[in-house]
Amino acid sequence: MTSALPDSAASYEEAVAARRSRFRPSRDALSRTSTYSFDPVFTIPHSGTHIHAFAAPPCSSHLYTGGSDGFVRRYALHATLNGTGVDNPLVPNLTSKPGGHERPPGTDMRSAVLSGYWENEEPGDWMEDLLSPDGGAQQDKFARVRWGPKSAALGPQSAVHSLAVQREELWGLSGTSRGSINLWTVRHDEGQIRHVFRPDASSSSASLQGHSPKAAVSTLTLDSDETSFLSGGWDGRIFDWDLYTGSPTRSYHAHAAQISSVSFRPLRPPIPLATSGEGDVEMREVEGKEDAEWFDAPGRVRVDEGAGGGGEGEGRKGAVKADSHGADDDADADADADADAEGEVDDLTNPHSILPSRPDPGKDIPVVGGAGKADHGELSRDVFISTGLDGTIVLWDRRVGEGEGGTKGAVGKFAAFDGRGGKSGGRCTSACWSPSGSHIYVARRSPSLQIYDLRSSPPLSTLSLPTSTGPVSAVTALPNSRHLLSASWDCVRMWDVERAMEAVAAGPSTASGAGSGKRTMPAGATVVPGHYGGTVSQLHVDPTCRWMFTTSGNRAWEGTSTETLVIHELKTVSVVAA
């Protein structure tokens, strides 16, 4: 009998690559004429815990959450939804079983399947004891590797501010509130810390080797080959870490407040999953064939404007001007927060005291599309964007100024926010790339969404929401390039970007309820059921476009929380006019 298991390292790598290639959206999900429906199928409560961070592998077989109580939790998605984790000895489930009377027939007997959880420790003396192979006199007492699933904390726990998980769930990363990043194993010896990316212990700002010990690590992003990762913190700095050496290779500094998001640029538009008998899908979108030229929604709107005689520049100015109408109506709602424009947080650590310098570190970075613009070159996995609570959006290239720190890797920055709410309303809470990597969607506290083109500094369009919806705290693009998801305090919304941009450019007369004298819900926005009444900390759509996950927590900044993880099933349900 022949074994189905790979018999060599090369065949194993081929099997892994074949498995990874399956995690792609279907052709229907990528159709530009498609729309989506979202069905909230399960809610996992985290009682008394703000969920600051979320991560999942491409297969979404397990979901990872981290919160204010200092625990990383791992949930089994399919066992939870199928109900196979209840009283099944083959499925690890650490969730407490509900007691009481027998439930009546027809009751949903499913429960969240918690397959593991472990503590997120702050840096301390335990690192030297556990992680140093030569422990000296203490070697016999403490300096030995722990085996098996983690059963106890080695040091004081820290809130989990950020998470990242390796694609095969071999290991993961979690950021602490004291500038360190823990690397722990998952598939073997679950939760055991194997390395700590340490905070900087020196007082010199010239040769920083990590985040400030007073700064939380607010974002973690693995690169495409998972040999390095980027971390952003409340000290306003971004570090590039080498996973082979465990040390930082470079730092980036252009923000004067906490880093809210870091995101690598996609190399190409999404590739549809091949159907049965179809074979491999050729990447027609990037081969430049005339019948398959790919434009994101903002790009198609600009092409239409140019064809209509308005011109690209005129269309952009018109969109910005149209949105500025009535911008002063809600300015007083944020006036009380203008004084602390660099970010007020609900934490014992004053964020202003951990900033490296009071002057703007990015003041010398040229604006995107300006006279001092650097050449972006071809698409590369080295390009990424960062946003901060100071309202700035910076475009970076790891190939520029290699081996240097500070602003040397900055390609350009986008125009400063000029809308309702002043500096406080301009805080960037989240950002993402369009599917092709040609545009950027930015969430603002104002509340609004801004759409940027890499070729110009001002926003192409600003999609504003009523003040009653609360700040926009998360944003993510759907793979068909036409639709966008945003999360506010009141709910999650799906946007038809083309329709919304066209409505903004046409002026307020096209909005529903125009003439009532008050700001109304903009055109192109549809409410997604599930979340309601709290700050959404993370908004995640899996690579197959089958699941959407939302977590509620204030990320230790501001706002309330529903303390839940909501699982949505995502379907392609209908067709809209092109």
Q: 216 with 199: CB under 8 angstroms?
A: no
- Position 336 scores a pLDDT of 39
Indicate the DSSP class of residue 571: E
Domain span at 416? 305-536
- Distance between CA 56 and CA 59 in Å, rounded? 8
Distances in Å between the Cα of 467 and the Cα atoms of 294, 340, 445, 529, 550 are 35, 19, 10, 20, 22
**Residue 519 covered by a domain:** yes
**Structure confidence by residue, pLDDT tens digits, 118-163:** 999 987 766 665 655 554 554 544 445 677 788 888 788 999 999 9
The total of structural domains in the chain comes to 1
**Residue 131 covered by a domain:** no
Mean pLDDT rounded to a whole number for the chain: 78
- Position 132 scores a pLDDT of 57
**pLDDT of residue 354 exceeding 50:** no
Query: Is the overall model pTM greater than 0.85, yes or no?
Result: no
**Residue 135 covered by a domain:** no
**Structure confidence by residue, pLDDT tens digits, 226-255:** 999 999 999 999 999 999 999 999 999 999
* Arithmetic mean of pLDDT, 10-28: 85
**pLDDT of residue 361 exceeding 70:** no
**Is the model more confident about 232 or about 379?**
232
Q: Residue 470 belongs to a domain with what CATH number?
A: 2.130.10
**Structure confidence by residue, pLDDT tens digits, 437-495:** 999 999 999 899 999 998 888 999 999 999 889 999 999 999 998 999 999 999 999 99
**Residue 234 covered by a domain:** no
- Distance between CA 499 and CA 496 in Å, rounded? 5
* Arithmetic mean of pLDDT, 365-384: 65
**Residue 434 covered by a domain:** yes
- Distance between CA 304 and CA 311 in Å, rounded? 9
**Residue 352 covered by a domain:** yes
**Residue 525 covered by a domain:** yes
Confidence tier at 13 by pLDDT (50, 70, 90): confident
**Residue 55 covered by a domain:** no
Which phi and psi angles does 83 have, rounded to 5°? 75, 15
Q: 448 with 429: CB under 8 angstroms?
A: no
